[in-house]
Structure 1
Amino acid sequence: MLELNIQNETSRLRAVILGTAESNGPTPKVEDCYDPKSIEHVLAGDYPKEADMIIEMEAVAKVFEKYDVTVFRPKVIKDCNQIFSRDIAFVIEDKIIRANILPNREEEVEAIRHIWNKIDRKNRIILPEACHVEGGDVMPWNDYIFIGTYTGEDYPELITARTNIDAVIAIQELFPDKIVKSFELRKSNTNAKENALHLDCCFQPIGQGKAIIHKNGFLVESEYQWLVDFFGKENIFEITKDEMYQMNSNIFSISEEVIISEKNFTRLNNWLREQGFTVEEVPYAEIGKQEGLLRCTTMPLIRD
């Protein structure tokens, strides 16, 4: 049995699901893309190739090996994009919550069934159908759970809006002792620079009480300000619109001190090192073309 334990984003990682780029399928048609950045690269003719993405994900697997982290992988489904394991489920405390994701991604959930079945039945949660949620929008942070959402009337038209208010309420009911704090995110089906696909595309807490944030990802300035006040301005690294587009907030913490980051994030990586972090740099730019990066491709199961 797997004894799950996730209280926050930064405690020492012991077990994780890392997605897979194997048998990723052909380049999708524009109408089959789930986000504006993928569309951009399909149209530009430089959508990422399976071989390149496999190399990138193996680099992350090697970092996990170096830090003695147990790594689970999804079963490979032929011609299916299974890179973003954070989309399909997430763990809070000792519970795994299955994400009600876009209906045409059901297969991805089946591919982690062998891991799901290792978890005590009472800790496997499937939310009611009306609750839409993806793991990129959900961040346990000790006494808090931060959740990215979108409550605009055009929610049904926005394929980029992945987590609704019903899910926020359901998670609050599941964890009555936590303070659930939701944030309205800026959404666009057509402009990747104006689209915060998930909360982790514009914000992420990191070790030592610090955080990375992009102001324009938030629709409500006071909600952005709440986070700045919560972490303290001096502890925050503000990223630009272009850095958000490149996914600078979507790095991944192995511990309070160790962070996996994309090797081209020069400004961020220098700042992290100045703050005393160990930065494990990996190539991840090809995966980034699908509007997801390191946090999106990893789903932590156990942290100390």
Structure 2
Amino acid sequence: MLQLNIKNETSRLRAVVLGSAVHNGPTPSLDEAYDPKSLEHIKAGTYPVEKDMVAEMDAFNAVFQKYDVKVYRPEMIENYNQIFARDIGFVIDDTFVKSNILPDRERELDAIQYIIDQIDPLKVVRPPEEVHIEGGDVMLWNDHVFIGTYKGSDYKDYITARTNMYGVNFIKELFPNKIVKEFDLVKSKIEARDNALHLDCCFQPVGKDKGIIYKRGFREEADYMYLVNLFGKENLFHIERNEMYNMFSNVFSIDENVVVSEKNFTRLNNWLRANGFIVEEIPYAEIAKQEGLLRCSTLPLIRD
């Protein structure tokens, strides 16, 4: 039996699902792109190829092995993108919530069913159909649950809007003892530099009291100020528009003082080291072309 336990983003990691880039399938056509960044690379002929992405995920896996983390991988589906495990489910405390994802991604959930089967069935939840919520929008901070959403009346027109207010309210009801705070995110179907696909594209806590933040990812200044007041401005690393585009806020914590980051994130990695973090640098720039990075590729199951 898997005893799930996730209370925040940074405690010592013990078990995680890491996505897979094996048999990732051909480069999608333009109308198959789920996000503006993939679209950009499909048009430019720079969309990542399987062998490069497999090598990047192998480097990530090697870091997990170094820290003695139990790693689960999804079962392989031919010609199918299974990199972004974060989208398909998430753990809050000891409960596994299955995401209602875009319909053509449903098979990604089937590929981790063998893991879900090891969890107490009473601790596995599937929200009702009208609830849209993806793991990239759900962030735990001890007694807080931060959730990215999009409150625009044109929600349904945006394939980049992944979590709705039904999703926020569902979590509020499921976890009445948590402070559930939603953040209205900026969305764009056409310009990746102005699209916060998920909350972890414009914010993520690191360590005990620090965070990485992109102010312009929030539609409401009050939402941004909520985090500034909670963490303290001096504890937040503010990223620029191009750094947001390159996914600087999508690093991944193995422990309160250990962060896995992309090797090209020089400004961020220097700040992390200056603040006492061990930074495990790996190449992940090819996977980043699909508007997802390190946090997006993981689904943590157990932290201390």
Question: How high is the TM-score relative to the length of structure 1?
Answer: 1.00
Distance 1:263 1:236 in 2: 20
Alignment of 1:163-202 (within 5 A): 163-202=163-202
Q: What residue number does 1:39 align with?
A: 39
String of CA shifts for 1:7-40, please: whole Å, max 9, x gaps: 0000000000000000000000010110000000
String of CA shifts for 1:52-85, please: whole Å, max 9, x gaps: 0000000000000000000000001000000000
Distance 1:154 1:233 in 2: 33
Distance 1:65 1:12 in 2: 14
Residue type of the alignment partner of 1:116 = I
Alignment of 1:137-156 (within 5 A): 137-156=137-156
Distance 2:211 2:3 in 1: 28
Structure 2: gaps spanning 5 or more residues: none
Q: What residue number does 2:127 align with?
A: 127
Q: What residue number does 1:271 align with?
A: 271
Q: What residue number does 2:74 align with?
A: 74
Distance 1:181 1:46 in 2: 38
Structure 1: gaps spanning 5 or more residues: none
Distance 1:208 1:144 in 2: 14
Tell me the secondary structure at the aligned position of residue 148 of structure 1.
strand
Runs of 4+ in 1 over 3 A off after TM superposition: none
Distance 2:93 2:206 in 1: 18
Residue type of the alignment partner of 2:104 = N
Residue 208 of structure 1 and its aligned partner are, at CA, apart by: 2.7
Alignment of 1:275-286 (within 5 A): 275-286=275-286
Residue 118 of structure 1 and its aligned partner are, at CA, apart by: 0.5
Tell me the secondary structure at the aligned position of residue 289 of structure 1.
helix
Residue 229 of structure 1 and its aligned partner are, at CA, apart by: 1.0
Alignment of 1:1-304 (within 5 A): 1-304=1-304
Question: How high is the TM-score relative to the length of structure 2?
Answer: 1.00
Distance 1:42 1:116 in 2: 34
Residue 140 of structure 1 and its aligned partner are, at CA, apart by: 1.1
Residue type of the alignment partner of 1:189 = K
Residue type of the alignment partner of 2:18 = L
Distance 1:58 1:204 in 2: 24
Residue type of the alignment partner of 1:301 = L
Distance 2:92 2:115 in 1: 16
Distance 1:244 1:100 in 2: 26
The count of corresponding residues between Structure 1 and Structure 2 is: 304
Distance 1:132 1:298 in 2: 19
String of CA shifts for 1:82-126, please: whole Å, max 9, x gaps: 000000000000000000000010110100010010000000000
Distance 2:87 2:178 in 1: 22
Tell me the secondary structure at the aligned position of residue 260 of structure 2.
strand
String of CA shifts for 1:164-220, please: whole Å, max 9, x gaps: 000100001000000000000000000000000000000001103000000010000
Tell me the secondary structure at the aligned position of residue 254 of structure 1.
strand
Q: Percent identity?
A: 62
Distance 2:152 2:268 in 1: 32
